[in-house]
């Protein structure tokens, strides 16, 4: 049986967190989306990862939840960034039962959940050699997490990013403190990460960008107030007018101006340097490469059901996409 695991974005929450009982992240103002999808025959689960943690830390927490084990961030990673090696313990509390090759999962990540599930798929497939080497140096060769050993891509059928910060964002607020989500969202950092991350030949990859901005006569973009939460209008208008170069020399041209109020639409496509094609309903998706779906007409929270701008279309969107995922060979 194939299951669908949803990973929230920055400052989000999942089913392990108390706020989820009062306002599910997946559904927001429209009610519990995953509950409705379950009733429609799609087994869905909401993961809980660190609200502002790095993609690495969040991926490790996701693995622990899926396996019902204690979070292991890795010895080398913990030493490099100066935090504890072990984190939340999910022993006896797995998010889903019987996660194995006969029961693979589909991962869907919103916003910073995008980089989280991308890195998760990479580590699941290729592992992290530096973690094995660190354990050997520490005289604990048997203490390396199975997550860092790789060769487990058969456990994962597909990855979908939803308004994912896959290539960073030019919005105000990207930080410079390593091992945090804010740092990972810096375009220079995101582009460097993309160069180090590969796809797996047997996993399918999908990107769903969003766009709530409108082109102006002078070539800039401004947010559509009917589609954009007030929370995102200032940031979106900034993104829609900002060009130039990043501190690392990355050129931010006019292709970066359309946005969803928080993430540049082009950034929410495939990670930089990865093979990608636009979705064609007459051609089946292929594993090992990115399929970029048509952009969704809405702001950054539209695929969550919206905050004050309620989006009642999300059930149809998700049912259509999950049906597509179920057709994958």
Q: What is the pLDDT of residues 153-180, one digit of tens each?
A: 999 999 999 999 999 999 965 567 789 9
Which of 269, 319, 317 is CA-nearest to residue 289?
269
Annotate 150-204 with DSSP letters as a single string: ---GGGEEEEEEES--TT---STT----SSBHHHHTSHHHHHHHHHH----TT-E
Residue 66 tokens read as 């899926």
> In this structure, what are the phi and psi dihedrals at residue 214, rounded to the nearest 5 degrees?
-125, 130
Report the percent of the chain where pLDDT is more than 70.
98
| Location of structure tokens 């354990």 | 135
| Buried-state track 248-270, b at ≥16 Cβ within 10 A, e below 16 | eebebeeebbbbbbbbbbbbbbb
CB 204 within 8 A of CB 247: no
| pLDDT confidence of residue 111 | 98
In this prediction the pTM is 0.97
Per-residue confidence (pLDDT) for residue 146, from 0 to 100: 96
Question: What whole-number distance in Å separates Cα of residue 103 and Cα of residue 140?
Answer: 32
CA 223 to chain centre: 23
Among residues 80, 34, 90, which one has the least CA distance to residue 60? 90
Render each residue's pLDDT in the chain as its tens digit; 329 residues: 789 999 999 999 999 999 999 999 999 989 999 999 999 999 999 999 999 999 999 999 999 999 999 999 999 999 999 999 999 999 999 999 899 999 999 999 999 999 999 999 999 999 999 999 999 999 998 999 999 999 999 999 999 999 999 999 999 655 677 899 999 999 999 999 998 999 999 999 999 999 999 999 999 999 999 999 999 999 999 999 999 999 899 999 999 999 999 999 999 999 999 999 999 999 999 999 999 999 999 999 999 999 999 998 999 999 999 999 999 97
Q: Which helix (H) or strand (E) holds 89?
A: strand 86-89
pLDDT digits (tens, 9 = 90+) for 117-156: 999 999 999 999 999 999 999 999 899 999 999 999 999 9
């Amino acid at each position: 049986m194939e299951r669908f695991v949803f990973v929230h974005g920055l400052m989000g929450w999942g089913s392990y967190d108390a706020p989820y009982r009062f306002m599910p992240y997946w559904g927001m103002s429209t009610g519990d989306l995953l509950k409705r999808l379950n009733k429609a025959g799609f087994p869905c689960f909401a993961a809980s990862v660190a609200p502002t943690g790095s993609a690495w830390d969040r991926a490790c927490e996701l693995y622990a939840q899926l396996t019902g084990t204690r979070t292991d961030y890795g010895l080398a990673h913990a030493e490099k960034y100066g935090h504890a090696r072990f984190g939340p313990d999910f022993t006896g509390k797995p998010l889903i039962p019987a996660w194995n090759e006969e029961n693979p999962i589909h991962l869907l990540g919103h916003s910073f959940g995008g980089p989280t599930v991308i890195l998760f798929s990479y580590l699941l497939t290729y592992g992290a050699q530096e973690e094995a080497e660190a354990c050997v140096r520490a005289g604990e060769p048997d203490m390396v997490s199975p997550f860092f050993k790789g060769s487990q891509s058969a456990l994962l059928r597909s990855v979908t990013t939803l308004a994912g910060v896959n290539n960073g964002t030019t919005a105000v607020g990207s930080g410079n403190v390593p091992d945090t989500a804010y740092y990972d969202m810096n375009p220079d950092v995101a582009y460097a990460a993309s160069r180090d991350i590969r796809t797996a030949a047997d996993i399918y990859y999908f990107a769903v960008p969003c766009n709530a901005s409108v082109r102006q006569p002078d070539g800039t973009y401004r947010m559509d107030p009917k589609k954009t939460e007030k929370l995102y209008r200032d940031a979106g208008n900034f993104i829609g007018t900002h060009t130039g170069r990043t501190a690392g020399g990355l050129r931010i041209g006019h292709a970066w101006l359309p946005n969803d109020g928080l993430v540049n639409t082009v950034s929410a496509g495939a990670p930089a340097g990865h093979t990608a094609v636009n979705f064609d309903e007459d051609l089946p998706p292929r594993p090992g490469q990115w399929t970029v779906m048509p952009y969704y007409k809405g702001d950054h929270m539209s695929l969550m059901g919206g905050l004050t701008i309620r989006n009642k279309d999300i059930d149809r969107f998700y049912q259509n996409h999950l049906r597509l995922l179920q057709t994958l060979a």
